[in-house]
Structure 1
Amino acid sequence: MSLTGQKKERHMRMRQFLVSFYPLILVAAAIGFIVVPAVGLASPAAQQGQQQFPKLQLSLDDAVKLALRQNLDIAFIDYDRDIAHQSIITAEGLFDPVVGVGTPGTPAVVGTVAGGFGQTAPPVGGVGFSSSESPSTTALAGAPVSESQGFNTQVRFTHQFDFGFNYQFGYNIGRSTSNSTFTNLNPSWNNTLGFAFAQPLLRGRGKEASGAQLLLAKRNAEVSDHVFRTQVETILFSVVQTYWELVFAHRNLEVSQRSLQLAQEQLGRTQVQVEVGMLAPIEETQAEVAVAQRRNELIIARNGLEDATDNLKVLLKAESLPGGWETVIDLTDAPEITPRQADIDEEIQSALANRPEIATARAQIAARQVEVNVTRNSMLPALDVVGGVTFVGIGGDTIVREPFPGQKIIEILPGGYGDALSALYGFGFSTWRVGFNFSMPIGNSTARGNYAQATLNEDKARTELERTEQQAILEVRQAVRAVSAAGELVTSMAKTLELAKQQLTIEQDRFDVGMSTNFEVLAFQDELRRAEAQELRAMIDYRNAQALLARVTGSIVETWGIRIQ
């Protein structure tokens, strides 16, 4: 037998020996390589007495609801919405009725008997007492030294409407005494009841002129509502996306663990064949390098899982979870999907009708239109119709004197406030007035400048609406394509993964019989690792693409059955 024949025979005996004991040897090597790294890569919690943290089972629906209740970004932006709605109440306060009782130093709605309608109250104020002494400069004063004392008060009710009309009711009462011999009532009581109104006919007429602040407050509240919805949709999308990224991180860690296990099993096979002389020692080194590399990948995958977990906890407000930041989150939703096709025209129409950003832009146009109408009205001349009616009643002790120039008191007929009140409500003494007030600034440059600015702001708001609609259409088109592409990738990557598993099985069988190299087996293991990760990535991308499509069409809130109040 030749030397070459002897070598072949010895090689065949060695192969038969390996085939007989190979399964046993492989199991022993695999156990050694699996157990030892598992101990070395155990988590800090496992190495420190297996500390147990509170566990939270979480579906995607649970995560969405929990985020809406506890997310700090939503709570923060909700304050702005509340503030905007409170500004409506503040603006409405401008048209609240006002009751004044004896307000010192303010104009009286109705004047005294001597002053007449629309005059100011006595110098002592709305409620006050007065006393004066002064030397007489004429015989008609009725005394060498004029002395008088008095009391005066007023009650008035004022109300302004948001369309420009305003009115006032007022009641004045005064009592005075004098030492003048020409006074017939002493003490005397003066009562005045009056009603006055004013209605702008040009400038200041209508709700958009007189009630502009209230209208703007309402428009701004609408804007705030749409901004709040935008924030809610953004948070919802972030929760959905972060949830699926955490699912990916969990599955990716499992893929890395399986990849490490395959590399360890291959190292066991290689060591067996090196020991029996079928492979050179360099092959064992190559397998050990692959194990080290995949252990590094496992460490990176575990760190990525922890980061993804923290990202979800932030959206859920980690401090409110059962164990705070240390809560163990157990996800219950799987990423497996059934791809579907979206109709791009329907999705675009949905976006134009439902996107809160578009609704915000339209509300901004409405607010700018209010400003345009206000500034246009301010360029008009001021023409107001004003009017009022006053009723007077007087009473007091009536002094009967001798004819002039005697002035001797003959009789005093008792009287008082009751007489004055009876005379007032007899409506026998009245004064009424109706008139027009007109004014017009020369040039009116300020009003014209304000109107020009308001018109430009309205045009700018309309342009912003067009930009927002165009951007929405672009985002919808991209999202529809993303859903379609992700669905195709899911199908394609599933087939790729199946083929990668078959290739690795074939190559391992060839390696066991000496027909393949360690390098080729490890290369196919890497291919399987990539195929598993890519299939998982495709499923997560499809889930995220669906969420993005719901976000850009403005339907993500309805998708999760959420009602924003």
Structure 2
Amino acid sequence: MNFSLRQLRQASLFIIPLLGVNLLNAESSPETFELDLRQAIKAALENNFAFRAAAINPEIASLSITQSESFFDTELFASGQVSQSEQDTTFEETTGTSSDNRSWEVGARKRFSYGTTVTARTNLDRRNTDAVVNFSNLSQSADLSLSIRQPLLNGFGKDVNTAGIQSAIAGYSAASESVREALFELLAETERAYWAVARLQEQLALNESSLKVAETLLKEAQERERVGVATRIDVLQAEASRAQRREEIIETRRILGDAIDQLFIYMGTFAPGMLELESSLKVSGLPEGIDTYTDFAEVWNLAKAQDPLLAQQEAVIDQREWQRRAAKNETRPNLDLVLSGAYTGLDSEDAGNAFDSALDRDGHVWIVGFEFSMPWQMRGAKATLRSAEKELEQENIRLNELQQSLFRQVRSAWRNLDSVSQSLEAAKLTVSLQEATFEREMSKYEEGISVFRDVLEVQRDLDQARIRLLDSKFNRLSSEISIARLSGLILERHELNPELILPDPR
């Protein structure tokens, strides 16, 4: 595809800031820009939509912690009431009565982790009762009081009262692990998509090279037919071979386009101009391997320690355990110890004098008591507790299932790595053999002791051997990626610091 440098630069305005890559020297290579694996990973971490959405989960979970902690925030309260009444009477000495009563209360209430509730309040009551003829009674009363309520059964203890906070913290841990899982998945799939593009670009180069060989063989067959040492069948076979190579190029380009699109999806990159940039994108060559794993026990132990799904499930189990403790608390009767004391003051006219009297401790009141209540048989609370216990048991079983599944995945990835490593060595030997066979067959054909069909068959075998070598290289890398993903070594593989990416643990 031919397009101007201006068109390329216009298209790159959309993609270059997202990829974090630099356009190569336009004077020397105006139609090509290179993307290495590190740049692709950086773009994915910054722009991938699924990862960005997953990264919000801990923020939401942290708000649940704040909401649970707010249960122990100090509560302020105030109330006021004004009432008036009048009554006509038929007594001989009075013609009627009226009353004007006013009451004000202000206070604060604080809950503590052991279930204790402390309340401090102040009250002001104003009462004015008038008998129209005989008397008038105005009084002001004030008090300063402190009361303590301490549960002795239901609601007693730090674990019970902080169960909601601990459950929210476990939920935050689960949300954080979901981000780690998304990170591992993003790194693994982005790298796999990157090497898929590399593999297909090399396959396209092989297809184009095979096309050149096919065109050379066609010209040679036509020349040999002209001088009478080849038949028309040889020329037709060469033409068919060239057509087949062209079809392979068309199909490879289609698959390569899909692979590039997939890579761009993981990188969170899309914009006008992508179609033009697709043909100019160049990635690194396909290596035979990056990491070497020699100890299955070490990989398995890392997988158990680093697997985000196991960590998420352990956090869920922690949540269920706190829910079970809260449910068990509800099976206890309510028995609260209540302590309160107050200083009181009175004055016939002035509210300020009534408060001064209370501060001078002119009067006092103290109360000690208890309150008891219990639902008959507690069937609802007991059913809730049994349900919480069954849910906890269920989550423990799921943890065992996840461990079993993880072991199977690690074993499968380990066996696959061993298998593809051997296949890679065999593929390299096969390519060397087929190259030598092709050279020998060409020499025999040029000497006139081999037919053209044999040359085409040997060339086809060589092409297939080279494709199998590419497949083996890609499969080797894919197996390495799977093991790195399962063991948590994917971060080390890409030299990433998890503290700069993952949310802070609580």
TM-score in same-fold range (> 0.5): yes
Which residue among 353, 356, 362 is the counterpart of 2:308?
A: 356
SS in 2 for 1:319: coil
CA distance in 1, matches of 2:462, 2:102: 103
Which aligned pairs between 1:145-184 and structure 2 lie closer than 5 A? Answer: 145-180=96-131
- Give the deviation of 1:183 after TM superposition: 11
Q: Contact between 1:136 and 1:144, CA under 8 Å: does it hold in 2?
A: yes
| Superposed CA offset, 1:23-77 (max 9, x none) | xxxxxxxxxxxxxxxxxxxx3x46x999534355322122112101110001122
Match of 1:130 in 2: 83
Match of 1:487 in 2: 421
- Give the deviation of 1:504 after TM superposition: 0.4
CA distance in 2, matches of 1:458, 1:519: 71
- The residue type paired with residue 260 of structure 2 is T
Match of 2:485 in 1: 551
Match of 1:337 in 2: 289
CA distance in 2, matches of 1:136, 1:168: 43
| Superposed CA offset, 1:388-410 (max 9, x none) | 1122111134xxxxxxxxxxxxx
CA distance in 2, matches of 1:348, 1:364: 23
- Give the deviation of 1:421 after TM superposition: 1.7
Q: Contact between 2:130 and 2:136, CA under 8 Å: does it hold in 1?
A: no
- Give the deviation of 1:490 after TM superposition: 2.1
SS in 2 for 1:164: coil
- Give the deviation of 1:138 after TM superposition: 7.6
Answer yes or no: is 1:289 the counterpart of 2:249: no
Which aligned pairs between 1:6-405 and structure 2 lie closer than 5 A? Answer: 43=1, 45=2, 51-52=7-8, 53-54=11-12, 55=23, 56-101=33-78, 126-136=79-89, 143-180=94-131, 186-319=137-270, 323-324=273-274, 326-327=276-277, 328-332=280-284, 334-337=286-289, 340-397=292-349
Q: TM-score w.r.t. structure 1 length?
A: 0.79
- The number of equivalent residue pairs is 476
- Give the deviation of 1:493 after TM superposition: 1.4
SS in 2 for 1:158: strand
- Give the deviation of 1:333 after TM superposition: 5.4
SS in 1 for 2:255: helix
Over the matched positions of the two proteins, sequence identity in percent amounts to 25
For structure 2, which runs of at least 5 residues remain unmatched after alignment? 13-22, 24-32
| Superposed CA offset, 1:365-390 (max 9, x none) | 11111121111221111111111112
SS in 2 for 1:179: strand
- Give the deviation of 1:295 after TM superposition: 0.7
- The residue type paired with residue 65 of structure 1 is K
Q: Output the aligned Cα RMSD.
A: 2.4
CA distance in 1, matches of 2:36, 2:5: 30
Q: Contact between 1:190 and 1:420, CA under 8 Å: does it hold in 2?
A: yes
**CA pair 525-297 structure 1, distance change in 2 beyond 3 A:** same
* More off after superposition, 53-62 vs 242-251: 53-62
For structure 1, which runs of at least 5 residues remain unmatched after alignment? 1-42, 102-125, 398-415
- Give the deviation of 1:497 after TM superposition: 1.0
- Give the deviation of 1:184 after TM superposition: 9.5
- Give the deviation of 1:525 after TM superposition: 0.7
Q: Contact between 2:152 and 2:336, CA under 8 Å: does it hold in 1?
A: yes
SS in 1 for 2:270: helix
SS in 1 for 2:345: strand
CA distance in 1, matches of 2:437, 2:104: 105
Instruction: Give 1 or 2 for the bigger CA radius of gyration.
Output: 1
SS in 1 for 2:342: strand
SS in 2 for 1:127: strand
Q: Contact between 2:142 and 2:346, CA under 8 Å: does it hold in 1?
A: yes
Answer yes or no: is 1:465 the counterpart of 2:399: yes
Which aligned pairs between 1:504-543 and structure 2 lie closer than 5 A? Answer: 504-543=438-477
| Superposed CA offset, 1:451-497 (max 9, x none) | 11111111111111111111111111111222222222222211211
Q: Contact between 2:123 and 2:143, CA under 8 Å: does it hold in 1?
A: yes
Match of 2:20 in 1: none
Which aligned pairs between 1:402-421 and structure 2 lie closer than 5 A? Answer: 416-421=350-355
- Give the deviation of 1:549 after TM superposition: 0.3
